[in-house]
């Protein structure tokens, strides 16, 4: 339960921070700028968290220009911040595509087959956060 609460608080703080000035212990100004506030995934599903033994994993991805990831799905929540580049994500079940660019925040669809393509001329750089049941994998490739 402590892990779920800590994960939820961390995610809530990251997603709902508002622009504000605060002071740390050294009286140095800290500026917080809201980057995103989401309640649904990219395909409109409500965001739900794993129910037991929550583990937060943070990864960086770099996708070469023109590269396409294989069709895959995620059984648990995955969030991505686009640090650089342009990424087109297509839900292969519905055919709906969304293009994300530098500065965008992605709440990936859960349990739906999709794939992503770097449609730009520069590498796509992503900061990816997974919330999974401890020891589980969050990417399943379509056979």
Q: Confirm whether 28 is domain-assigned.
A: no
Q: Confirm whether 125 is domain-assigned.
A: yes
Q: Confirm whether 15 is domain-assigned.
A: no
Question: Cα dist. 72→20, 36, 93, 143 in Å?
Answer: 38, 25, 11, 9
Q: How many domains does the chain have?
A: 1
- pLDDT attached to residue 25: 64
Measured between alpha carbons, how far apart are the two ends of the chain, in Å? 35
pTM score, two decimals? 0.76
- pLDDT attached to residue 47: 86
Q: Confirm whether 79 is domain-assigned.
A: yes
Q: Confirm whether 126 is domain-assigned.
A: yes
Q: Confirm whether 88 is domain-assigned.
A: yes
The predicted-structure confidence for 41-90, as pLDDT tens digits, reads as follows 999 998 888 888 999 999 999 999 999 999 999 999 999 999 999 999 99
- pLDDT attached to residue 8: 42
Structural domain boundaries, residue 86 = 41-141
Mean pLDDT of the chain: 85
Q: Confirm whether 92 is domain-assigned.
A: yes
Question: Cα dist. 119→68, 98, 100 in Å?
Answer: 9, 11, 10
CATH code of the domain covering residue 57: 2.60.120.10
């Amino acid at each position: 339960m402590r892990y779920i609460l800590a994960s939820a608080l961390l995610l809530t703080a990251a997603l709902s921070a508002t622009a504000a000035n605060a002071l740390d212990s050294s009286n140095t100004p800290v500026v917080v700028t809201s980057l995103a506030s989401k309640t649904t995934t990219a395909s409109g599903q409500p965001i739900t968290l794993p129910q037991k033994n929550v583990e937060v994993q943070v990864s960086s991805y770099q996708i070469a220009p023109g590269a396409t990831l294989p069709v895959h799905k995620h059984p648990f929540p995955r969030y991505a911040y686009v640090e650089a580049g342009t990424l087109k994500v297509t839900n292969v079940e519905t055919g709906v595509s969304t293009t994300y660019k530098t500065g965008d925040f992605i709440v990936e669809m859960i349990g739906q087959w999709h794939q992503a393509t770097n449609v730009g001329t520069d590498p796509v750089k992503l900061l990816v956060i997974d919330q999974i049941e401890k020891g589980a994998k969050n990417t399943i490739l379509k056979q």
